[in-house]
Structure 1
Amino acid sequence: MRATWRRLPAKLHEVGWEPGLEVPAADGSPLITDHYFPRTEGDFPTLLVRSPYGRGLPWSPMYGLLFAEQGFHVALQSCRGTGGSGGEFDLWRNEAEDGRATVSWLREQPWFNGTLGTVGPSYLGYVQWALALDPPPELKAMVVQVGLHDPHALFHSGGALHLEKALAVGLGMTYQHQGVGPFVKATLRLQRRLREVTTAKPLRGAYTAALGCEVPWLDEVMTRPDADDPYWRGASQAESARRLRVPTSLITGWHDGLADQTFEQYERLRAAGCETSLLVGPWTHTSALQQGWPEVFAESLAWLRAHLGPDTSGLRPTRVRVHMGGENAWRDLEDWPPAPYTGRWFPTAQGHLTREAPSDRAPLASFRYDPDDPTPSVGGQLLSRTAGPRDNSALEARDDVLTFTGPPLTEAVDVLGPVSARLSISTDTGHSDVFTRLCDVDAQGRSVNVCDGLGRVRTHGQEPAQITVAMSHTAHRFAVGHRIRWQISAGAHPRFARNPGNGESAVDATTFTPVRITVHADSALTLAADAGGREPGAAGEG
């Protein structure tokens, strides 16, 4: 373990292990739990780590051994219906009551001193929010790493299905708790059959060829795009953050497929007056727990020591720390977002990006999107290893991708905060998606994605529709000589399921219709400047 990562803190305690403890779930099913503990006399706080991904690699060394070495009891538990635990796994529905049942069991253990923290990534973050909906009095600190609170938003946004995320989650939930061997075999099968599955007509049920079995809950989440559908009732734990008083540390990466949920969590905690901190690294969902683990572990350990014990020496002086893309440096900030100013950039018919607002709503450029030859996804916020910054040059050479590019910068431009696009769009079929991306173009012409977003467009006749697309958050420096680029297309497949172009469901459609999409002059890209004040792109026009 220590040979894998550099810069881990020195071991403070030898570790003992009690595997296979049976903890009664809310329905009486046994929740199999491994107890890691310091082999040292004395009282130590307890960390509860509940996971649907098993209790072996990487969870046992990363959360059992490493935290126990630092002076914590760790209860590493398999969620209901996974990793040997009894009952049936039902995505999100049992986590609150099973978490409370586990705390009741902890109260009866002779080694439990009444001080409890929680920690974990991804769905291990969701179970923390579920417990926090009605937090037990013993809960004194939470650390949510690349975690979610809203399952609907994981699978859908604006009516569009996050197809690649759905398949990744289905794979992980089905196989990871079975051990490394079955998980690796299933991962390779999904990679081999990804194109076959994601281009199937209809899409419904096609995943079974790649996952090797039916996953009933995956069928449900893929076919219910409406957040108001009764199926999703009780799924979101957003209410936890709105009233929480438990000190909570949030950790994410700019290219994490759950980053937007982390920013929502931070906003709600701040509004509630809850003590919180935010760390955002140059990571994807997976790299945060791999290359980024030394920083993630140090941040988590410092927060837990400060709030479960008397040691506050590891806390940083500011509430927020972000990694600046394009600069490869960390910045400490008082809050997020820090920028008091937002500036707009406008596209021109010549493919430029300018600060000068247009005088009309004239059509600027159009392209044809063919769902049978969908615009491919390149990097971005995903759960897989293909996430992150990538060279977009081949993508931008396609006929179905528009780019609008600013002039070479004579001064560096720092963009810190949420990015969004206001788009004026007309279509010939009335149905389309629009994918919009901010890119950094270097002096050699290499275009690299910074952040992006997708929205669904409905139009009537030739009248353009107005749509605002959230493009996530960023902290990025556009260096001198670089250019700011706005990329627009009608999809990113298989990251998002293809829009059929005719109003049919993306999951059930068997007929696809090509769409002619036109961007109008009153579209705008909105960027946030840094707190130092200069407007983005104020220098270097022309």
Structure 2
Amino acid sequence: MPDGIELEADLYEPVFSQAGESPRLTLLVHGCYGRGFVFALVNARLYAARGFRVLFVSTRGTFGSGGGPFEPCRAEPRDSQAVVEWMRAQPWYPGSFATFGGSYLAHSQWALLKNPPKDCVASVILSGFYDFHHFHWGTGSFNLDRVDWTYQLAHQEDPGWIPAPFRAMFATKLLRSAKETVPLIEGAESSWAIRQPTLAKAMLTPDPLDPYWTALRHTDALERVNHPVFLMTGWYDIFLEQVVHQFERLHARGRDVRLVIGPWTHEGACGNYSIPDILKYLDSHSTSGTRKQEPPSACIYVTGVNEWRTMSRFPPETTRPRTLFLHDDKSLGQEKLAESAAATSFTFDPANPTPTVGGPLLIGASGCVNDTIYASRPDVLVFTTSPLEEDLEIMGRPSVQLAHSSDIPFIDLFIRISEVDARGVSYNITEGYQALDPDRDSAPIQLELLECAHRFLKGTQLRLIIAGGSFPSYARNLGTPGLRTTGKTMRSARHTLRLASGGCRLTLPTV
């Protein structure tokens, strides 16, 4: 590196059965999780076995690379450019390369693409974030997945056979205790298992415009990259929203971009279930000469009917809004209630918070799960349609409008759409989370949920779930002024929904 630091890397060369054959394409992989057997298998060996040369580089401060201690996302913009310069000087370099990797390895690609090398011919970016602040504070509440990830980073070079990304799963009790500590910052700083300066700094810095975050945000890359990009995510991937935004921006610029969204959690969205598609895409960029630019496309898995759809863009422009109103008998219907309709309410207690049940998590019990438990909790409101008389397909971002008030201004809202089957069991489809502005006015609250593509089959029911938190996915709103990660006092919040005259409604993007 220009500052004298050396990074560790492994070069994988394919072995050919016939003389004169050469690698199809050189792949650059740059990440912080090491180059051991498991990671080498899925990020390098598998591709080398199919004719690709792979340079697998360990991030500064990890697994033999100098410049520690490791500070997530800080060094990649500078170091990735230096790696490319070094690679160009090697006798085996053919004159062009592609980038590849998932999760943090995908972030490393966006860091490089802030200043896209002209000899980079394609990028395969799997479940990648480009905005580190959005991962932490994008909802207005601190994402507690960062605690689990910090544990993983702190212990990933400990001896043992368990791959680093899975070690946090075996420390659930320890990490839960840290998350439950009030103030939260003390739980992070006092636990030997997760004590790390970057975690504390992230907890104390909610402002997206703070200089700490601006260097870790690679929005410029979305405006500068011109070569073909392959994006992948899943409906239950923590980075779904960021990946869809990447596609939308590149699509708007007319770039050659492909998006794949499957029924996956974060792990699946990192490409483990789509290796043939990835190999085919990389191989299409391995031929010499000028490649014709392809129009943007999206390959979307529709849950409920379990089928793949191909379209020119996602979300599609042809959706039609369908509105369902919340009723005082806890039903959802197409009729507005009269002005005399009663309001309904629930109380969120941060000392006994509404639990996280499945959904888009980075680590742990994520995905589509049985969330029927919400219907029996007193701190949750549940509204359910009657059994559908015909199929109902939605594609895009549902939204809610709530005529809402609370007895204190410091509150969050957790909104989820689930499907109820013939047995009365519900399974989550999509959700949204938002910390509300304490200085908000009395206007109805508007909240978009995450993207989805789902068909509710005839006879099933659509359920809308409303709560004041989702713990331990997000840091609890303590119900008191100040930063929730440093607060010491907790106060319950009473939420009230005014249902009269259609004041609370769910809008679905139907196809």
Cα contact 1:457–1:465 (8 A) shared by 2: no
Residues 456-477 of structure 1, C-alpha deviations (whole Å, 9 max, x = no match): 224679x745322221100111
Q: Does residue 14 of structure 2 align to residue 38 of structure 1? A: yes
Q: Which amino acid aligns with 1:396?
A: A
Q: How does 1:508-519 map to 2 (within 5 A)?
A: 508-519=486-497
Per the normalisation by structure 1, the TM-score is 0.87
Find the partner of 2:56 among 71, 76, 97. 76
Residues 279-323 of structure 1, C-alpha deviations (whole Å, 9 max, x = no match): 11111012335xx6242x12221221112326999x999821111
Q: CA deviation at 1:136?
A: 1.0
Find the partner of 1:205 among 186, 203, 217. 186
Distance 1:264 1:188, change over 3 A: closer
Q: How does 1:465-504 map to 2 (within 5 A)?
A: 465-504=443-482
Find the partner of 2:412 among 433, 436, 459. 433
Distance 1:367 1:446 in 2: 22
Distance 1:429 1:330 in 2: 45
In structure 1, the partner of 2:175 is 194
Cα contact 1:115–1:308 (8 A) shared by 2: no
Q: How does 1:59-458 map to 2 (within 5 A)?
A: 59-88=39-68, 89-163=70-144, 165-178=145-158, 180-181=160-161, 183=164, 187=168, 190-208=171-189, 212-289=193-270, 293-295=272-274, 297-309=275-287, 319-338=297-316, 339-358=318-337, 364-458=343-437
Q: Which amino acid aligns with 2:41?
A: P
Distance 2:294 2:420 in 1: 34
In structure 2, the partner of 1:28 is 4
Q: Which amino acid aligns with 1:131?
A: L
Q: How many residues align?
A: 500
Q: Which amino acid aligns with 2:373?
A: A
Find the partner of 2:27 among 15, 36, 47. 47
Q: Which amino acid aligns with 2:130?
A: H
Q: Residue 127 of structure 2 aligns to a residue in which SS? A: strand
Q: Which amino acid aligns with 1:39?
A: V
Q: CA deviation at 1:90?
A: 2.1
Q: Which amino acid aligns with 1:426?
A: S
Q: Residue 160 of structure 1 aligns to a residue in which SS? A: coil
Distance 1:453 1:311, change over 3 A: farther
Distance 1:334 1:357 in 2: 36
Moved more, 485-494 or 363-372: 363-372
Q: Residue 185 of structure 2 aligns to a residue in which SS? A: coil
Cα contact 2:430–2:449 (8 A) shared by 1: yes
Distance 1:138 1:344 in 2: 49
Q: Which amino acid aligns with 1:49?
A: V
Distance 1:154 1:170 in 2: 13
In structure 2, the partner of 1:537 is none
% same residue: 33
Distance 1:130 1:184, change over 3 A: closer
Distance 1:263 1:363, change over 3 A: farther
Distance 2:139 2:295 in 1: 38
Q: Which amino acid aligns with 1:214?
A: R
Distance 1:149 1:346 in 2: 37
Q: CA deviation at 1:187?
A: 2.4
Cα contact 1:251–1:278 (8 A) shared by 2: yes
Q: Which ranges in structure 2 are unaligned for 5 or more consecutive residues?
A: none
Moved more, 224-233 or 432-441: 224-233
Cα contact 1:323–1:331 (8 A) shared by 2: yes
Residues 188-216 of structure 1, C-alpha deviations (whole Å, 9 max, x = no match): 56312133111101100313565625211
Q: Residue 377 of structure 1 aligns to a residue in which SS? A: coil
Q: CA deviation at 1:529?
A: 1.0
Cα contact 1:190–1:211 (8 A) shared by 2: no
Distance 1:113 1:186 in 2: 39
Q: Which amino acid aligns with 2:345?
A: S
Distance 1:185 1:281, change over 3 A: closer
Cα contact 1:132–1:240 (8 A) shared by 2: yes
Per the normalisation by structure 2, the TM-score is 0.92
Cα contact 1:49–1:124 (8 A) shared by 2: yes
Q: Residue 8 of structure 2 aligns to a residue in which SS? A: strand
Q: CA deviation at 1:158?
A: 3.5
In structure 2, the partner of 1:13 is none
Distance 1:36 1:100 in 2: 20
Residues 92-149 of structure 1, C-alpha deviations (whole Å, 9 max, x = no match): 2211111110111111111110110001011111110111111111100001111111
Q: Which ranges in structure 1 are unaligned for 5 or more consecutive residues?
A: 1-24, 531-542
Q: Which amino acid aligns with 1:349?
A: D
Q: CA deviation at 1:184?
A: 8.0
Q: CA deviation at 1:168?
A: 2.5
Cα contact 1:243–1:272 (8 A) shared by 2: no
Q: Residue 411 of structure 2 aligns to a residue in which SS? A: strand
Distance 1:205 1:298, change over 3 A: farther
Q: Which amino acid aligns with 2:297?
A: R
Distance 1:146 1:488 in 2: 28
Residues 316-347 of structure 1, C-alpha deviations (whole Å, 9 max, x = no match): 99821111111122122221112432222210
Q: Which amino acid aligns with 2:360?
A: Q
Distance 1:491 1:363, change over 3 A: farther
Distance 1:177 1:117 in 2: 28
Cα contact 1:118–1:141 (8 A) shared by 2: yes
Distance 1:340 1:353 in 2: 21
Residues 476-533 of structure 1, C-alpha deviations (whole Å, 9 max, x = no match): 1101100111100000000010000122321111110011101122122121112xxx
Q: Residue 465 of structure 2 aligns to a residue in which SS? A: strand
